[in-house]
A and B are shown apart, each in its own frame.
Chain A
């Protein structure tokens, strides 16, 4: 089953830097299709990143986040081999999640 989330988490000193790329149309609701009808908004609303059972970052996204959104952040903690759990939910209630290892 193809996953929409790609994560690269790298531990460096006492911090872990996380980059994620999510496949999602992030339709703003302002664009018209070929027939001239508005394509309804369809965008991720919340992205949650967890390490050791605790949320380390929450993204709250509106329709102005670019298609196939990219995000980078960093948190104190994390070691090579630890799990990073990423999950998202969009305005239609669709969701996806992925667990990746810190490198």
Chain B
């Protein structure tokens, strides 16, 4: 009488499913390091700690770009005259200058003036819109790097309710 070797009991179906899942999981785990680099792209090493921890506007600009900025009417800084809520101040920067590779925004009266910096590869438009915190009424400075030179625009923004909480 032939022996029945395979069974299809619920126990066995569950066992086969678990084995398949485990195998799939193992394959995925082995494959992860070989994912193309773009799949894990944001790299903390890019963060310019020195610039972000400077306590003066001049120090932050020097740490970021190593050179001084020249005021230019080719840098357009959109910021409200009065910020109702210092915790969320919408600020936009754009420029018609050529070959813009970087845009940065500083809030002079913040504990750390550098708020944000953006890297623009060739082909990316010289425009960025973001929302920043402002501790109190302050000068906001927009910096644009064009052909390796730094240009700036400044606007005073009044803050009614400070953005640092408390």
Contacts and interface: CB of A to CB of B under 8 A. Distances in A.
A13 B161 CA distance: 41
Contact of B116 (A48, A50, A54, A62): A62
Interface of B: 36, 38-44, 46-48, 52, 87-89, 92, 107, 110-112, 114-121, 123-125, 127-135, 163-166
Contacts of B166: 30-32
- Which interface residue of B48, B92, B123 has the most chain A CB atoms within 10 A? B123
Given A30-B164, A45-B47, A65-B132, A60 B41 contact: no
Contact of A54 (B112, B114, B121): B121
B55 to A, nearest CB: 12
B123 A73 contact: no
27 contacts: A15-B125, A28-B165, A30-B135, A31-B164, A32-B165, A45-B44, A46-B43, A53-B36, A56-B121, A57-B124, A60-B47, A60-B52, A62-B112, A62-B115, A63-B133, A65-B115, A65-B116, A66-B88, A66-B163, A70-B129, A71-B130, A73-B118, A73-B125, A77-B123, A85-B39, A87-B42, A93-B44
Contacts, number: 135
B49 to A, nearest CB: 9
Interface in A71-90: 71-77, 85, 87-89
A88 B124 contact: no
Contacts of B165: 28, 30-32
A99 B130 CA distance: 21
B124 A47 contact: no
A90 to B, nearest CB: 8
